[in-house]
């Protein structure tokens, strides 16, 4: 028997094994998250009841559209039972710094904190959670249009990933009633003087706020909106 015939003979039982696989997983306690189960909440129908609040800026709009798609899934949404509020945060970091002080790549770090409320006269906070993702794109300063397109595509991927993670966490809560892990509150920020900055009118040296890892933005190339004043 040649090798080809032997492999074909081994492959014959595979379709039957694939059909039996869901039954074996069900016996092990595995349950599909979005599948309909007798006596349990219909997750797909419940997610259609979620209204996603408006989000500012372009990335916020992309995130909201992606969330609406994940919530509606295969049918029109009918949001009358829940309200989802999302607080996204997007930051960029310049990495691969060249000798001429240009960056060869931009890293995008996206995070979001979501809160699910009931729709009633006095809304109740039902669940909340955090999610994060990372993406990036290669800088091409000689082709401005191409770099703009790469940046927009990367930000769109970040929005899609955050939306998918949020939708999954909400679905898990609808199924189990268990809240996802919440990121602990950040402690006091660390500030560093900017050696190349000119003191302001009060003779104060401008300070650069460190990130969550306490590393100054000027040391890593990440963007910082808190370097225009002292703490």
Q: How confident is the model at residue 217 (pLDDT cuts 50, 70, 90)?
A: low
Is pLDDT at 33 greater than 60 in this prediction?
no
**Residue 227 pLDDT class (50, 70, 90 cuts):** very low
Mean pLDDT, residues 5-34: 55
Q: What is the pLDDT of residue 63?
A: 94
Q: Is the pLDDT of residue 114 over 90?
A: yes
147 CA to centre of own chain: 22
Is 40's pLDDT higher than 90?
Answer: no
Q: What is the 3-state secondary structure (H, E, C) of 67-119?
A: HHHHHHCCCCCCCCCEEEEEEEEEEEEEEEECCCCCEEEEEEEEEEEEEEEEC
Instruction: Read off the pLDDT of residues 44-96 as tens digits, 9 standing for 90 and up.
Output: 888 888 999 999 889 999 999 999 998 887 666 677 889 999 999 998 888 77
Bridge partners, 95 (sequence order): 105
pLDDT at 84: 94
Beta bridge pairs of residue 52:
84
Fold of the CATH domain 42-176: Double Stranded RNA Binding Domain (3.30.160)
What pLDDT score does 92 carry?
85
Q: Up-side HSE of residue 50: CA atoms within 13 Å toward CB?
A: 28
Average model confidence (pLDDT) for the chain? 75
The 10s digit of each residue's pLDDT in 147-196 is 888 889 999 999 999 999 999 999 988 888 766 655 556 566 667 676 66
The confidence score (pLDDT) of residue 230 equals: 38
CATH 3.30.160.150, the chain: domain bounds: 42-176
């Amino acid at each position: 028997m040649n090798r080809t015939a032997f492999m074909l003979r081994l492959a014959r039982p595979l379709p039957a094994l694939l059909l039996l696989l869901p039954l074996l997983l069900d016996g092990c306690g595995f349950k599909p998250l979005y599948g309909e189960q007798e006596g349990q909440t219909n997750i797909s129908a419940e997610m259609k009841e979620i209204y996603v609040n408006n989000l500012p800026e372009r990335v916020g709009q992309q995130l909201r559209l992606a969330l609406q798609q994940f919530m509606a899934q295969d049918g029109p949404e009918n949001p009358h039972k829940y309200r989802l509020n999302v607080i996204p945060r997007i930051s960029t970091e310049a990495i691969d710094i060249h000798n001429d002080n240009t960056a060869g790549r931009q890293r995008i770090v996206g995070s979001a904190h979501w809160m699910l409320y009931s729709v009633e006269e006095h809304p109740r906070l039902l669940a909340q959670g955090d999610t994060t993702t990372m993406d990036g794109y290669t800088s091409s300063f000689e082709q401005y249009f191409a770099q703009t397109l790469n940046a927009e595509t990367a930000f769109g991927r970040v929005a899609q990933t955050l939306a998918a993670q949020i939708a999954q966490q909400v679905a898990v809560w609808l199924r189990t009633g268990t809240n996802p892990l919440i990121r602990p509150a950040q402690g006091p920020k660390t500030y560093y003087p900017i050696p190349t900055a000119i003191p302001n009118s009060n003779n104060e040296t401008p300070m650069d706020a460190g990130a969550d890892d306490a590393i100054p933005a000027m040391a890593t190339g990440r963007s910082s909106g808190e370097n225009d004043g002292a703490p």
